[in-house]
Chain A
Amino acid sequence: MTRVGVLCLASSGVGIAALAWGHWENGSVTLALAVLLFGALWLAAQCRTYLAAKCRTYRAAKWRWSQPVLRRLLGTGMGLRVWFSTLGLVITAAAAAAGFLLGAPSGWMIVGALGGLLAWDLTDLDRRLGFAGSADDLSTIKRRHLAWLGLAAATGLMLATAAVLIPLHFSFALTVLLALAAVLGLARLVSWLYQA
């Protein structure tokens, strides 16, 4: 497994564990178990290549029947990992939002969402690195990616934590107004940056 793969595995593991623990602490056992179940599938999908290689090299005849089954279950390409990471992003975000709404500890929720985001990003990095020729020097690209990812994650974490911790009370109308302004502003920002 590559170093990016290990990082990806670690971030998804941390994210899932944080979300599950947060929900467990809050008493949402079903939600915690659902998150854990998805996490187990996600981790299996990420270890797919490693497991498939193990299956191929395992020569015991009595376990040979398991090779096609595992191949069928775990897939044979990068697609499975990408699909699971996409699902992972959506599910971790949804689980974190649900946690906030149900009153789960906000620290665990933010860490869980961040773990999902990092795992999604690193899976895509691993996929893109697969396009490279074998003679390409990828160390610069990896280093730069990790530096920018670290910066984005740290900034996002600080902003989100600050926004959660600093108590600001708005009226409903003001909240709606601010949210609409955020949506419109974000859309404008995206279009402006695209044009730039």
Chain B
Amino acid sequence: MRRAFLLSLVIYALLLAGLIAPSGLVPPADSGANRGGSVLALSLLYVTYLVVCLLRAPGNVSLQITHTLSAERVGTNMPVVVTMTVTNTGPSLEEVLIEDDLPPGLTVCKGPGPDGREGSPRHLLELAHGKTVTWTYTIRGPRGYYAFSSVRAQARDPLGLIDRKQTFALSNAGRLFVLPPVLRLKYVAIRPRRTRVYSGLVPARVGGTGTDFFGVREYQAGDPPHWINWRATARHPDTLFSNEFEQERVTDIGIVLDGRRRANLYGVGPASRRRSQPDGTHPYPTIFEYSTLAAAALADAFLAQGNRVSLLLYGRFLRWTLPGYGKVQRERILRTLALAELGDSQIFADLDHIPTQLFPAHSQVVLVSPLLYGDSPLLTERTDDVEVLIRLRARGYQVMVISPDPVAFEVALIRAYPAPGRHQAGLHDVELAARIARIERRLMLQRLQRAGIQVIDWDVSQPFEQTVHCHLGRPLAWQRAVGGNP
């Protein structure tokens, strides 16, 4: 339309010049009227062009669009094939540009698609009445939820001067969940104070049938003969004693993922900006991505052990996934994690507002967070996270904290992307600051451990499976025998 406006402007300017010339405003050499007429004649060149464009201007754009995705849920950066079918139900279009509105974050894969042609969400074509065209292209993207809502069409006359734009809402709007990667953890040892009645893999602190030795009691009718503790019986000839084993049951586990922006403000400083791509994206994950990864891996492991697991996203608002078992619950949790994003809220600025009533009494609560503590300038005037966790523990919950180490994360980032001109002396300052920050963090973690909170300090440069295996792996038999369970 800007072109049409420009052309109209040129025409009117020429008409004006043609009118002014004979009136004497422009000094003519001999015959002003003739020269003005020539300028008017010149405008015919442009008028003809404009009239041709107007005569061939496109009519109403009426398209029927079908949009399908090869998968509704995929892993991070896995390719998804988008198939678009467009049928022209209106008048013929001599030139139309059809473009799929890609949700931000998704990228189109280069190279030939499944049909062997280079895929693109945008196509310039001629579309006769009733004609149908189909094309495919491949996309991929980071963790998130993506909704395909509309397709834009822009029809033009053959000379491209007059255009009609129209946006078509997709009737079968596609949606795509890009789920976080799920690491397979072999075993995650937890000891909640209360378990459920169904048998599982979590030690229940109750004697009965099981595998681990729990104690010795007087023989009861029905006890299998190989349970009889002959040594104890030999010391008390009048009574028979049986071994008792610790029951193993399923339990309730609530995973809390800290999505507060202020608690995840790591890797966003100048070093992070230096590692940014020209389009603003980062080639390496943020610390929140590591938290999400940990939450997904833990949820998967707990569900695989048969436990009832729920998830609470704590950030701009509360997003609660009701407790449940099995594969369906795994899918629900992964989809919720796909939606997880950082946010700020005045109410949920600190962990004080975790709704504890969502978790059954004495159940296991797992918090995944880098934690805000001490004299952090990001803290509000109220409490730091350590105090809240200690209070949670005092209420009887078995609390576990998985904390991706922000100090190691930030230091690694600064080392990898030093500021221009910053040499060894500058990095020495960074090392000193990191040492102080590490000491503060270690003190904070010790406070938590002294309160009976299980803490896993995760240096994100190490694989999460390895960290979990070291801290929460199945204890060896002799460790179990001497009560070395976590």
Question: Is A186 on the interface with B (CB-CB < 8 A)?
Answer: yes
Question: Total number of A-B contacts with CB less than 8 angstroms?
Answer: 171
Within 8 A of A (CB), among B134-160: 135, 137, 156, 158-160
Residue of B with least CB distance to A26: B29
Question: Is B443 on the interface with A (CB-CB < 8 A)?
Answer: no
Question: Is A110 on the interface with B (CB-CB < 8 A)?
Answer: yes
Within 8 A of A (CB), among B375-415: none
Shortest Cβ distance from residue B43 to the other chain A in the assembled complex, whole angstroms: 8
Question: Is B203 on the interface with A (CB-CB < 8 A)?
Answer: no
Q: A97-B39, A179-B40 are in contact. Are A135 and B45 (CB under 8 A)?
A: no
Of the four ranges (under 10, 10 to 19, 20 to 34, 35 or more), the interface on chain B belongs to 35 or more
In the bound complex, what is the Cα–Cα distance between A138 and B135 (angstroms)? 15
* CB atoms of B44 and A148 under 8 A apart: no
Question: Is A103 on the interface with B (CB-CB < 8 A)?
Answer: yes
Most chain B CB within 10 A, of A94, A100, A157, A175, is at: A100
In the bound complex, what is the Cα–Cα distance between A78 and B478 (angstroms)? 73
Question: Is B18 on the interface with A (CB-CB < 8 A)?
Answer: yes
Residues of B within 8 A of A96 (CB): 42
* CB atoms of A93 and B14 under 8 A apart: yes
B20-40: CB near A (< 8 Å → 1, else 0) gives 011100101110011111111
* CB atoms of B35 and A101 under 8 A apart: yes
In the bound complex, what is the Cα–Cα distance between A151 and B52 (angstroms)? 9
Residues of B within 8 A of A170 (CB): 33, 37
Q: Interface majority SS on B: helix, strand, loop or mixed?
A: helix
* CB atoms of A100 and B56 under 8 A apart: no
Shortest Cβ distance from residue B119 to the other chain A in the assembled complex, whole angstroms: 8
Question: Is A3 on the interface with B (CB-CB < 8 A)?
Answer: no
Residues of B within 8 A of A148 (CB): 52, 56, 158-159
* CB atoms of A144 and B15 under 8 A apart: no
Question: Is B126 on the interface with A (CB-CB < 8 A)?
Answer: yes
A79-95: CB near B (< 8 Å → 1, else 0) gives 00000001001100110
A128-150: CB near B (< 8 Å → 1, else 0) gives 11011111111011001101110
The answer, among B28, B33, B160, for a CB contact under 8 Å with A175, is B33
Residues of A within 8 A of B430 (CB): none
Residues of B within 8 A of A186 (CB): 11, 47
* CB atoms of B42 and A97 under 8 A apart: yes
Shortest Cβ distance from residue B409 to the other chain A in the assembled complex, whole angstroms: 36
Q: A136-B125, A148-B56, A148-B159 are in contact. Are A183 and B38 (CB under 8 A)?
A: no
Question: Is B117 on the interface with A (CB-CB < 8 A)?
Answer: yes
Residue of A with least CB distance to B49: A152
In the bound complex, what is the Cα–Cα distance between A168 and B29 (angstroms)? 19
Most chain B CB within 10 A, of A124, A125, A160, is at: A160
A7-20: CB near B (< 8 Å → 1, else 0) gives 00000000000000
15 intermolecular pairs with C-beta atoms under 8 Å apart: A90-B10, A93-B10, A101-B21, A101-B36, A128-B156, A129-B124, A132-B97, A132-B124, A144-B94, A144-B126, A145-B160, A155-B52, A156-B47, A164-B41, A190-B54
Inter-chain pairs besides A131-B124, A133-B119, A134-B120, 15 sampled, C-beta below 8 Å: A101-B36, A109-B42, A121-B160, A124-B3, A131-B97, A133-B118, A135-B135, A137-B125, A155-B52, A164-B37, A164-B41, A164-B42, A168-B37, A170-B37, A193-B57
Closest 3 CB pairs of A and B: A133-B120, A163-B41, A156-B48
